[in-house]
Structure 1
Amino acid sequence: MKDGYIRVASASIDTLIGNVKHNANEIKKVLKETREKKAQVVVFPELVLSGYTLEDLFLQNRLLNECLVQLEEIMKDTKGHQQIVVIGLPFHYQNNLYNVSAVLYDGSILGIVPKYHIPNYNEYYEGRRFTPCFEDNIEIELFGQIVLFGRKVVFACQNLPSFTLGVEICEDLWLPNAPSNELALNGATVICNTSASNELTAKKDYRRNLVSMQSAKLVSGYVYSNAGSGESTTDVVFSGHHLICENGTIVSESTGFDAEVIYGDLDVEKLVSERRKMTTYQSHHDYDYVYFDMDLIDIETNHYYDPHPFVPSNPKLRELRCKEVFEIQTRGLMQRLKATHIDKVVIGISGGLDSTLALLVCVMAFDKLGYDKKNIYAITMPCFGTTSRTKNNALGLMEELGVTSQTVNIADVVRMQFKNIDQDENVHDVTYENVQARERTEILMNKANQIGGLVIGTGDLSEVALGWSTYNGDHMSMYAVNVSVPKTLVRYLVDYVSSLYQGQVLETILQDVLDTPVSPELLPQEDDKIVQKTEDIVGPYELHDFFIYHMVRFGDEPCKLYKKTKLAFKDKYDKETIKKWLRLFYWRFFSQQFKRSCIPDGPKVGSVALSPRGDWRMPSDANVQIWLDEVEKI
């Protein structure tokens, strides 16, 4: 539960229908196993204590009384254990019989939740025996305790406010007005479903989609436990198909048919963060809250985090993502050109990944608009750090793509600038680098004025986040097509476009661009080799892209972000390396906001973007100290 993680379990037993004592003993065996594995929530199937397929035996006093006896025994078994246990059973109150889930915790009953939708069609005949849940909660006495009885209840952990739990039962999920909808709006981050859903051809697929979609719609965790082994097969078969989902993602799923326990770790803090950003996710305040205390234990979570959250690992999905992103970039530029009635662009080409991608976007936009590609003015501006490899790749790209190519050596004018400000050319400091970057931008802007065109920016999302650009240099343009594309995705986008030119000279050039180290080439080259490698200075871009995704999207604290990074890169980076670059990330992210506050327009392509006009607004003088302090505690 530290860092907002909870471990949940969905379990079934080898049911003996009608043998309540046997079923209770099997439940207690499962609970012992789940405690050893540190599960903090365990959900059993609908009517698990009695069996679901008892038909009119549900009306027998002997059965109902024994269910109460065994429920009390299980409740006593939970004493001393900080574990939420959700169990289905038939429950008689006053004049009616209810299909309920009992929520147990540490030797007590937190609440009794009745089923809301009672199916009475096809193979289901529950309406013959069970009564639907009443509207408002009531209090009843059970085992010497005052217990809340009703469906309008959320169970809340006082130690971890983001861990709140709601319960619905089987059919409740399948209807438009599912109780979980209101439970989530009243704060429940985890929904438990005790279910008895029989198996039919293709029903498993439908059920899987239903549960995962409900968890996505509610931005919640969803623990679904289904009846299985031992239920009557007179007319139907139950498979014990369990599911654990988190915000649309299947965390764990049972194989089915045999009694089984599945586990999953849910990140409830992430769920709360997602909801908090959605101003359309309105809170309701008309349900009762039942509170419990649970120690914040540290679990070795099995939660999977993709080390490259912006890049799908599946090759087919990755290709589709690249195609979609490239199309968004292209359409964004096309609209800007049409809206401004401009058919000329200017772009600086270095022979690196970012400028290559931006040039490819320009070419595609011009092709789709039917504009003359000679109106794409691609300018390479070699200086002290330019190598023949990058220069030749830049020239080759321009030639193969059929754009207007121009080479402007900026060395002499840069030296003039050095002279004007008394800068020693042998001192390779930030001024030495930035004079070159600003001179290049000045040439691009002046050329755009000359021809009546737009300067197309090439910087990517990772550079925007880290401020890895020269203010009023490459930081500035008239439309920035890469501005929300992370560095880890840029590489795959160039590779995707390369595949469109299979067998052509252009493919060879693009592949060599992909193999070239990332560098601004602002320091003098040695023996025609790149000496300035960006990742040696700011750290691996794959780490920074991971930081960007989880910090911006979920608002993770440094300790949690560190823990996620360790899980994602456990076989690649040691703890000190992660901590080193995490510290630098926070420092650069805060100190470089002034650049983000005035970045040019550009298309948003994914769920994380840093435009000051839409996705990210923060003061340029915000203080980073409390974030750095927490990094130091790691």
Structure 2
Amino acid sequence: MAIQTSDLPFLNPYRHGFVRVATCVPKVRLADPAANARSVLELVKQGQAQGVALMAFPELGLTGYSIDDLHHQDVLLDAVEEALAELARASNTLSPIFVVGAPLRDGPRLFNCAIAIGGGRVLGAIPKSFLPNYREFYEKRWFSSGAGVSDQTLTVAGHDIPFGSDLVFKVEGVQPFTFHAEICEDFWTPSPPSTAAALAGAEILLNLSASSVVIGKSETRRLLCASQSARCLAAYVYAAAGAGESSTDLAWDGHGDIWELGALLAQTERFAATANLAVADIDVARIRQERFRQGSFGDAAEAAQHYFRQARAGFEPPAGELALARPVERFPFTPSDPAKLRENCYEAYNIQVQGLARRIEASGLRKLVIGISGGLDSTQALIVAAKAMDQMGLPRANILGFTMPGFATSDRTKNNAHALMKAFGVTGQELDIRPAAKQMLADLGHPFAEGEPVYDVTFENVQAGLRTDYLFRLANHHGGLVVGTGDLSELALGWCTYGVGDHMSHYNPNSGAPKTLIQHLIRFVAHSGDVDAATAALLEDILGTEISPELVPGEKTQSTESFVGPYALQDFNLYYLSRFGMAPSKIAYLALNAWGDAAKGGWPANTPPASRVAYDLPTIKGWLELFLRRFFANQFKRSAVPNGPKIASGGALSPRGDWRMPSDAQADAWLAELQANVPG
């Protein structure tokens, strides 16, 4: 009886929508199909040991690409048939489906083919459509084009198999998927066959290649792989010929890549002297999500005039635990690659600046009003405001910064707020809200006004609300705009008081930036060279301050993350829920892979010191449950946010942007899925 998804353990990627693939580079023996078939089987056995479902081998790998006129020798072509028969027989006891390259005869024509094998049989063959006949290539000397060959069968190794350029392979089992194969030059044309195959439903696109190598060619291949996987909303698995090919006039680098939606997941060792393979888990479920999320893909599929047949096969994954074979960023909003992180911070910072500058220009006002707490969000908002004024040619003194200490404001944050306003040359003032807060609490009949230490939500929000009241009235008084400070993470969690400063403003440049990105934006400015050493040190001190609303007095600092969870985890949850629509169990699985053994291999350079921790599955599950409850319960706050630019690639939560949901939606189904499918 076939296993079901629920039969697989939690720590098995096939349970969560992944399919394991491999790109393979055997060492070929020229004009020796029997030896090459043995090399293929050795790699297939390695793939089976690693739980691989689908394996791609190079173009004409059973014969060698560079044998030239030997392709027309009957001895060679007969040996190819025998090798294919042996591969089919051997596949009866091997779980992976594998695709090899070989020449196949069809009457008076010879085709350069990708041949799929699995489950004890040859599943089908796809001929190469576009034959290069320029520079060092002259394939038309030996092969016929497969373009237009459709709805045909071919006898291979004594069996009739589906044959044609109209073929995709549908694999059934616990984690179904559909794949297609094209061959080398097909990929370099303006309209690759894989584009039509993707529109016909293929999620995994293979390329069997024998691309020779010259300086710079590998980068072109990667550009094409990345673009094809991104444009087709697919995975692209590329396998090129390597060791063993003739060195008469060319060289071969054995370039193998695995791409998904424009991102490189794995690659083989180039110029290896021996056979090698690279393995990665393709998120087929995510590919399907992206396809129906982007309606234009469905429109293109509807408009396509291509017909494809399906050749069917089956695959059952290993039933036990299996380590995930793909990288998972701990901070999906902030890449671990330092160069990419710098580029992202540069773009995010300038998106914020441009947005605020445009709003200043459109409003006709020339002053900004901003509350400065000495915390992360108001610091970044002030930095953006200063740069926007510079861009507009207005003096920074037109920024009216107010630090408004309350009952729990620490000396550290207040002093940092004053130092920050001075460092950036804004008009800084202090406005003590405590007298007004005491009066409002007395008017409300609150016990605190009588000297009782009652620190409830009313006590907290009186302070938060007064700060906002003052800012808006100060903006009226001075003819300015109130700059918001709340960030994307706070909006997701509802960690903002409705109608007050972290929720309401005239314009909020931080609204599209999650907390983990805000931290890096401040660090980006600190080390950009645009500020002096003293200001850089001040920004680092702010980054090192525990995140706190500072509303409740006491010896112990009021910690935000003790209430809403670590922002590192909650930003992770936000990214995968809102951007990819993933089930909670899958988010927990990915979080465990990112954070469960976080110290393994060291920490990426962009990891904040406070986030250099590991989380076990019960902890991940607990904070994810809280995230789901808060995310659903606080949509009403997100439905009334002020304007602000979309910044992060993970999306935004503005009701005018790319997130819409009713304020009274229920989280029950998501919570039930989490409880049912995540142990602990």
- Measured against the shorter chain, the TM-score band is over 0.9
Deviations 1:122-152 (A, max 9, x none): 2212101110014152232535655221112
* 2:135 aligned to which of 105, 122, 126: 122
Supply the distance in 2 between the matched residues of 1:106 and 1:442 (Cα, whole angstroms): 71
SS at match of 1:90: strand
Supply the distance in 1 between the matched residues of 2:45 and 2:423 (Cα, whole angstroms): 68
* CA-CA distance at 1:381 after TM superposition: 1.4
Supply the distance in 2 between the matched residues of 1:294 and 1:195 (Cα, whole angstroms): 25
Distance 1:2 1:70, change over 3 A: same
Structure 1 equivalent of residue 368 of structure 2: 345
* CA-CA distance at 1:424 after TM superposition: 2.5
* CA-CA distance at 1:504 after TM superposition: 4.8
Supply the distance in 1 between the matched residues of 2:550 and 2:261 (Cα, whole angstroms): 43
* 2:59 aligned to which of 46, 71, 77: 46
Identity of paired residues, percent?
40
Cα contact 2:19–2:175 (8 A) shared by 1: no
* 1:93 aligned to which of 106, 117, 125: 106
1:203 and 2:217 matched: yes
Supply the distance in 1 between the matched residues of 2:137 and 2:42 (Cα, whole angstroms): 30
* CA-CA distance at 1:121 after TM superposition: 1.5
Cα contact 2:93–2:120 (8 A) shared by 1: yes
Q: How do 1:216-227 and structure 2 match up within 5 A?
A: 216-227=230-241
SS at match of 1:480: coil
Unaligned runs of at least 5 residues, structure 2: 1-13, 599-613
Matched pairs, number: 631
Supply the distance in 2 between the matched residues of 1:373 and 1:631 (Cα, whole angstroms): 50
1:602 and 2:673 matched: no
Distance 1:232 1:373, change over 3 A: closer
Supply the distance in 1 between the matched residues of 2:57 and 2:338 (Cα, whole angstroms): 38
Q: What letter matches 2:630 in structure 1?
A: R
Deviations 1:29-63 (A, max 9, x none): 22222111111111111111122222222222222
SS at match of 1:54: helix
Structure 2 equivalent of residue 626 of structure 1: 669
Cα contact 1:544–1:585 (8 A) shared by 2: yes
Distance 1:507 1:63, change over 3 A: closer
* CA-CA distance at 1:286 after TM superposition: 2.8
Distance 1:420 1:181, change over 3 A: same
Q: What letter matches 1:124 in structure 2?
A: F
Cα contact 1:274–1:553 (8 A) shared by 2: no
* 1:508 aligned to which of 518, 537, 544: 537
Q: What letter matches 2:384 in structure 1?
A: V
Q: What letter matches 1:166 in structure 2?
A: H
Q: What letter matches 1:269 in structure 2?
A: A
Q: What letter matches 1:17 in structure 2?
A: L
Supply the distance in 2 between the matched residues of 1:580 and 1:481 (Cα, whole angstroms): 31
Cα contact 2:154–2:163 (8 A) shared by 1: no
Supply the distance in 2 between the matched residues of 1:83 and 1:3 (Cα, whole angstroms): 19
Q: What letter matches 2:43 in structure 1?
A: V
1:489 and 2:517 matched: yes
Q: How do 1:436-585 and structure 2 match up within 5 A?
A: 436-474=463-501, 475-499=503-527, 500=529, 502-526=531-555, 531-569=557-595, 570-571=597-598, 572-585=614-627
Cα contact 1:162–1:269 (8 A) shared by 2: no
Cα contact 1:457–1:481 (8 A) shared by 2: yes
Structure 2 equivalent of residue 398 of structure 1: 421
* CA-CA distance at 1:212 after TM superposition: 2.8
Cα contact 2:131–2:140 (8 A) shared by 1: yes
- In terms of mean alpha carbon deviation, does 300-309 or 262-271 score higher? 262-271
* 2:49 aligned to which of 36, 57, 68: 36
Q: What letter matches 2:409 in structure 1?
A: T
* CA-CA distance at 1:501 after TM superposition: 5.2
Supply the distance in 1 between the matched residues of 2:455 and 2:186 (Cα, whole angstroms): 68
SS at match of 1:180: helix
Deviations 1:343-385 (A, max 9, x none): 1121111111101111111111112212233321211211111
Structure 1 equivalent of residue 6 of structure 2: none
SS at match of 1:255: coil
Structure 1 equivalent of residue 182 of structure 2: 168
* CA-CA distance at 1:176 after TM superposition: 1.1
Q: How do 1:234-249 and structure 2 match up within 5 A?
A: 234-249=248-263
* CA-CA distance at 1:439 after TM superposition: 1.4
Supply the distance in 2 between the matched residues of 1:372 and 1:125 (Cα, whole angstroms): 68
Q: What letter matches 1:260 in structure 2?
A: N
* 2:276 aligned to which of 251, 260, 280: 260
Structure 1 equivalent of residue 8 of structure 2: none
Distance 1:506 1:46, change over 3 A: closer
Q: How do 1:44-83 and structure 2 match up within 5 A?
A: 44-83=57-96
Q: How do 1:176-215 and structure 2 match up within 5 A?
A: 176-215=190-229
1:290 and 2:290 matched: no
Q: What letter matches 1:624 in structure 2?
A: A
- In terms of mean alpha carbon deviation, does 538-547 or 500-509 score higher? 500-509
Distance 1:30 1:399, change over 3 A: closer
Supply the distance in 2 between the matched residues of 1:364 and 1:129 (Cα, whole angstroms): 64
Supply the distance in 1 between the matched residues of 2:554 and 2:534 (Cα, whole angstroms): 27
* CA-CA distance at 1:395 after TM superposition: 1.6
* 1:276 aligned to which of 292, 295, 298: 292
Deviations 1:83-130 (A, max 9, x none): 211011111112211111111121122221000001112221210111
Supply the distance in 1 between the matched residues of 2:25 and 2:420 (Cα, whole angstroms): 62
Structure 2 equivalent of residue 371 of structure 1: 394
Distance 1:323 1:229, change over 3 A: closer
Cα contact 1:154–1:290 (8 A) shared by 2: yes
- In terms of mean alpha carbon deviation, does 268-277 or 278-287 score higher? 278-287
Supply the distance in 2 between the matched residues of 1:324 and 1:516 (Cα, whole angstroms): 26
* CA-CA distance at 1:265 after TM superposition: 1.8
Supply the distance in 1 between the matched residues of 2:406 and 2:116 (Cα, whole angstroms): 71
Structure 2 equivalent of residue 13 of structure 1: 26
Distance 1:40 1:161, change over 3 A: closer
1:308 and 2:331 matched: yes
SS at match of 1:243: strand
- In terms of mean alpha carbon deviation, does 125-134 or 285-294 score higher? 285-294
Structure 2 equivalent of residue 616 of structure 1: 659
Cα contact 1:46–1:226 (8 A) shared by 2: yes
Structure 2 equivalent of residue 153 of structure 1: 167
TM-score w.r.t. length of structure 1: 0.95
Cα contact 1:2–1:296 (8 A) shared by 2: no
Deviations 1:219-274 (A, max 9, x none): 32111111222222222222222222222222222223322222222212222222
Supply the distance in 1 between the matched residues of 2:34 and 2:541 (Cα, whole angstroms): 71
Supply the distance in 2 between the matched residues of 1:403 and 1:140 (Cα, whole angstroms): 77
Deviations 1:572-606 (A, max 9, x none): 11111111111111111111111001110001112
SS at match of 1:53: helix
SS at match of 1:11: strand
Distance 1:515 1:238, change over 3 A: closer
Cα contact 2:115–2:124 (8 A) shared by 1: yes
SS at match of 2:415: helix
Cα contact 1:386–1:525 (8 A) shared by 2: no
Q: How do 1:389-428 and structure 2 match up within 5 A?
A: 389-425=412-448, 426-428=453-455
SS at match of 1:79: helix
SS at match of 1:46: coil
Distance 1:347 1:252, change over 3 A: same
Supply the distance in 1 between the matched residues of 2:133 and 2:332 (Cα, whole angstroms): 45
Cα contact 1:4–1:160 (8 A) shared by 2: no
* 1:360 aligned to which of 383, 387, 396: 383
* CA-CA distance at 1:161 after TM superposition: 6.9
